[in-house]
């Protein structure tokens, strides 16, 4: 009797399992390698021009007198100084910078991939 009861219980259980509806719960999933790329460049061009001139003159006279009107002499020292400076400068600078950061990302249930994977 117990054996028949166990067989009957197994049959009822089998019918219940077969009669239950089948369903699946699928969750969105995304994966990849988000990357951050920074590229910058700097170009600098400078030009300078300078011109300077310095002109100096100096006269020194030593007056002397004599008893005779024709015998007078005035020695004079003259000095002339002229300086010129010319400057030209040209400067060119070129700078490039590149950086990249990438990381693996797996999102199960939170698709699409949120920005930078922070949420």
CA dist 117 and 35 (Å) reads 11
Q: Each residue's pLDDT tens digit in the chain (119 positions)?
A: 888 888 889 998 888 888 877 766 666 666 777 788 999 999 999 999 999 999 999 988 776 655 555 555 667 788 999 999 999 999 999 999 999 988 777 766 655 555 454 44
- pLDDT number for residue 47: 95
- pLDDT number for residue 36: 85
- pLDDT number for residue 2: 83
Query: Is residue 102 within 8 Å of 37, Cβ to Cβ?
Result: no
- pLDDT number for residue 22: 72
- pLDDT number for residue 28: 64
* Sequence spans of domains, the chain: 20-117
Which residues fall within 8 angstroms of residue 88, CB to CB, at 6 or more apart? 48, 49, 50
- pTM of full prediction above 0.75: no
């Amino acid at each position: 009797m117990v054996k028949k009861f166990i067989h009957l219980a197994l049959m009822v259980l089998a019918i219940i399992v077969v009669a239950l509806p089948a369903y699946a719960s699928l969750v969105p999933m995304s994966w990849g390698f988000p990357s951050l790329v920074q590229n910058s460049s700097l170009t600098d061009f400078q030009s300078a021009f300078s011109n300077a001139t310095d002109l100096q003159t100096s006269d020194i006279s030593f007056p002397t007198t004599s008893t005779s009107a024709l015998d007078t002499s005035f020695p004079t020292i003259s000095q002339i100084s002229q300086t010129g400076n010319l400057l030209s400068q040209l400067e060119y600078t070129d700078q490039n910078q590149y950086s990249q950061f990438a990381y693996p990302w797996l999102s199960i249930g939170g698709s699409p991939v949120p920005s930078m994977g922070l949420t």
